[in-house]
Amino acid sequence: MMKYSLYPGCSMEATAQANLKSIIAVAKALDLHLEEIPDWNCCGATVASGVVGDFTQQVMTARNLAIAEAKGLDVVVGCSSCYLSLAVTNKRFKEDEHFKAKANEALAAGGYKYDGSLRVRQFLEVVINDVGFDKIKARVKKPLAGLKVAGYVGCQTVRAIPYEFDDPEYPVQMDKLMEALGATATKFPMKARCCGSSNAIAATEIVIDQAYKIFESASEGGADVIATPCPMCQLNLDAYEQMVNQKYGTNFSLPILFFTQLMAVAFDLPADAQALSYCINSPYQALASYGVAR
């Protein structure tokens, strides 16, 4: 069994509970042991950087790494925004001695210290590299044969650390994962385009306009569903699909799922692990032929 520390992040406890539920269930099914970092705090995301600056935000983030370092396990992150914070902070600890000294000086004020020994990883990457497509295929009980999936990787997942495990402009790894589940990855030029992210509240129009382009591109490719690893992407598309339809006079009704939810379906895990009821746009019809019921 492979062991990891898990950093869930704030969204997983609120808007993206479906993500956390399916991650935990899929991990278990694949023999991956995830241990939540005790008393983790918000990473601050890029929003905090805009108020207090990168350094302060990264020191906040580092508190989580400092706590996790006691176990020495790779830190797995589900949320792409949290991943951006943790991975970039971790990289600076490893590569920038001056930063490391300053950051540890600040951490010391709270009684923490981080040596930069850990690896920060995305759950998507762990599933692909540590488990591998062959084992995933072997675990599939209900192949998603015939399901056309637009793999919406989003922006930060592949661009936080470009080329870390995929092309930052035209990623293909999640598509391969979908293929391993038996589904068909559709042509989807907007697969790495930003959804508008944190502008959902303050500048809704941005999100609606972005979401429109993404839905348009996914529909052109003939997708039945959109899959994503990112809580912001999932929420923005899921919550605003109808507003997009209103503004643009379109008729999109694509369900937006976390890739882990589709894994749970293909692995034939229980309904709670699939967490499909959290989807605003119902996925039941699209997934009906894979043993999914409301």
- Kindly identify the residues of this chain, within the stretch 69-108, that bind other proteins according to CB under 8 A: 84, 102-103, 105-108
Question: Angle of helix 80-95 relative to helix 97-108, nearest 10 degrees?
Answer: 110
Choices 10-18, 144-152, 177-185, 259-267; region in contact with other proteins by CB under 8 A: 10-18
How many CB atoms are located within 10 Å of the residue 37 CB? Answer: 22
Beta strand pairing call for 75-77 and 120-122: parallel
Q: In the bound complex, what is the minimum distance in angstroms from residue 58's beta carbon to other proteins? A: 8
Q: Contacts with other proteins: how many residues (CB under 8 A)?
A: 72
Q: In the bound complex, what is the minimum distance in angstroms from residue 253's beta carbon to other proteins? A: 14
Choices 28-36, 128-136, 193-201, 258-266; region in contact with other proteins by CB under 8 A: 193-201
- Beta carbons of 273 and 25 less than 8 angstroms apart: yes
The verdict on 129 binding other proteins (CB under 8 A) reads: no
- CB closer to other proteins, 118 vs 234: 234
Residue 264 structure tokens: 């749970």
The verdict on 111 binding other proteins (CB under 8 A) reads: yes
Q: In the bound complex, what is the minimum distance in angstroms from residue 271's beta carbon to other proteins? A: 14
Q: CB-based burial of residue 201 (10 Å sphere; 0-12 exposed, 13-18 middle, 19+ buried)?
A: exposed
- CB closer to other proteins, 63 vs 139: 63
User: What 3-state class would DSSP assign to 142?
Assistant: coil
- Beta carbons of 68 and 58 less than 8 angstroms apart: no
Which residue of 278, 286, 290, 292 would you call a contact of other proteins, by CB under 8 A?
A: 278
Query: Half-sphere exposure of 204 toward its Cβ, with a 13 Å CA cutoff?
Result: 7
Residue among 113, 107, 122 at smallest CA distance from 6: 122
Choices 49-57, 133-141, 143-151, 178-186; region in contact with other proteins by CB under 8 A: 49-57
Which residue of 146, 162, 222, 291 would you call a contact of other proteins, by CB under 8 A?
A: 162
Which residue of 72, 110, 132, 222 would you call a contact of other proteins, by CB under 8 A?
A: 110
